[in-house]
Amino acid sequence: MSEIVVLTGFEPFADFQVNPSWEAAKTFDDKEIGSFKVKSFQIPLAYKEIKPTITRIIGAQKPAVIISLGQSYRSLISLEKVAINFADLTESTILYNCETRPKDDTLEPNAPAAYFTTLPIRKILNKLRQNNIPAEISYTAGTFGCNQIFFYTMHKIRSDRLDMRAGFMHIPCLPSQAAQLQKARKGKIPSMNLDTTTKAVEIAIKATLGNVKK
C-alpha cells in the first residue's frame, strides 16, 4: 500500500479571494504524519473539471487515504457521511466558477444512487470534541462541488476496487470572509480560524491512519 495521504481543497469562488478548504489543505503539503507523506491538491470549481482532476490525482498518487475539504457556511466541522449521485443548483445564488448551473443532473448514469464515506467519522468526531473543536456528522454534502468530488472519489475507488479510505469534510469560513460579507452588507456567517481548522484536519488524518492496515 502507498504511504501517501491526499488532501484536496477547492479554489476560491463567489466574491471571495480565498477558500478555507485550500488554505487548510496546502499547509500539509509534503508534511509527514507518522510514516505517511501528505500531498495537497487544489481542485477547480468547474463542473466538468472536477471528475478528471480527482481521477488524475488518484491515478498518479495511489494514496492510502483521500480526504477532500470544502467550504461551508456552517459553524462547525462537518464530517460527511454520504455522497449522492446528483447535482443541482436550480435554487442557488452561487454558481460554479465556470458559471454552470446543473439542474437535476445525474453525475454517473450507471452508478449507485449514493456512496458512504470510508473514513472512521465517529472516531474522528470523538477526537475533535475531545480537543474542544465543534464538530458533527452530517448526512448531506449538498448538491454542489463538494458533493461532486466526494461522489466521484468514492465511485472511482469502488469501480476500480482500490484499497483506499476516503471521505469529505466541510469546514467553516475564515474570519476574514465573515468580515468581508459584513462590510459588504451581505449578511453574517459563522467562521473558524485557520489554526483550529488545520488542527481538525490533522486530527482527522491521524484518526484515519490509525485504521489503515499497512
The catalytic residue positions are 80, 146, 170
Instruction: For 153-180, give the secondary structure using H, E and C.
Output: HHHHHHHCCCCCEEEEEEECECHHHHHH
**Looking at this protein, which amino acid is placed at residue 164?**
M
Q: How far apart are CA 191 and CA 82, in angstroms?
A: 24
Strand 165-171 relative to strand 77-80, pairing: antiparallel
